Amino acid sequence: MNPTRDERVRAGSRQRREQQKQDVRQAILDAAAALFAEHGYQGFSLRQVAEQIGYSATTIYHHFEGKDDLLFTVADEGFSRFGTQLVAASDGASEPLARLKAIGRAYVEFGLSYPTYYELMFIERADFMLGYRVGERKPRLGSLDIVAQTIQEGMDRGVIRPGVAATYANALWAAVHGVVAMHIALPVIDRAQAEATADAVLELVVTGLKG
C-alpha cells in the first residue's frame, strides 16, 4: 500500500528533524575540537561551545552528558581516524618488520597532522584510551592492538626475536609517542625534523627487534 500524502509529509518532517539534530551535534563536535585546540582541557568549557555555535548550553546537554562526555566523543572520532590509518598502513606491507615501520610512520603522521586530536587522546586525557561506549567492551586503546599482533606474527615467523609481544609493542609506542609529543611541545622541532627523527627511531627499534 502506498503511503498517503499526510504520511509522506510526516515522514519528511521526521527526516528533517533528525537531520537537523545530527547537524547540531556535528556543529557541537566541530566547535569543541577547535576550542580545545585553542584553550586546552583546563580552559575548555561548554559555555564557550554554546557561544561558538549560537545555541544555549542546554542544547548541548540534549546531545552530551557534560564536558567529559563531549570531549570523549571528540577523542572517539580521533581514535576512529587513527585506527583506520594504522590498518591502512599495515595492509600496505606484507612482511612484519616492514609493516611495523609502516604502522609507526602512520602513528607519527596522525600525530603531526591532527595535533588537537592527539593531545586530547594521548596527553591531556590519556584516560580516554581506556574508555568505551555503552554496549561495547573494547577500550579505545585497542586501536594499538595491531602493533602487538604484528610483532607476534614476526616472532612466529622467526623474523623478530623471542620475547613478550606486548612489551615490544609498548617500546615501539613509547618511541613514536616521544617524537610526536616533542613536536607538539617544542615548536622548534618542525614537521620535517619530527618525520626524520621518527624514521631514525623506527629504524633503531625495528633493527633491535630482528631475530
Q: What is the pLDDT of residues 124-168, one digit of tens each?
A: 899 999 987 777 777 888 999 999 999 999 999 999 999 999 999
On whether the CB atoms of residues 112 and 53 are closer than 8 A, the answer is no
Residue 119, burial from CB neighbour count under 10 angstroms (0-12, 13-18, 19+): buried
pLDDT of residue 113: 95
pLDDT of residue 19: 80
On whether the CB atoms of residues 152 and 167 are closer than 8 A, the answer is no
Q: pTM to 2 decimals?
A: 0.83
Quick one: cell of 178?
616521544
**Closest-CA residue to 47 (of 63, 34, 62, 58):** 58
d(CA 104, CA 89): 9
On whether the CB atoms of residues 165 and 156 are closer than 8 A, the answer is no
**Cα torsion 111, 114, 117, 119: sign:** positive
Region of poorest pLDDT, from 8-12, 117-121, 162-166: 8-12
Find the length of the chain.
211
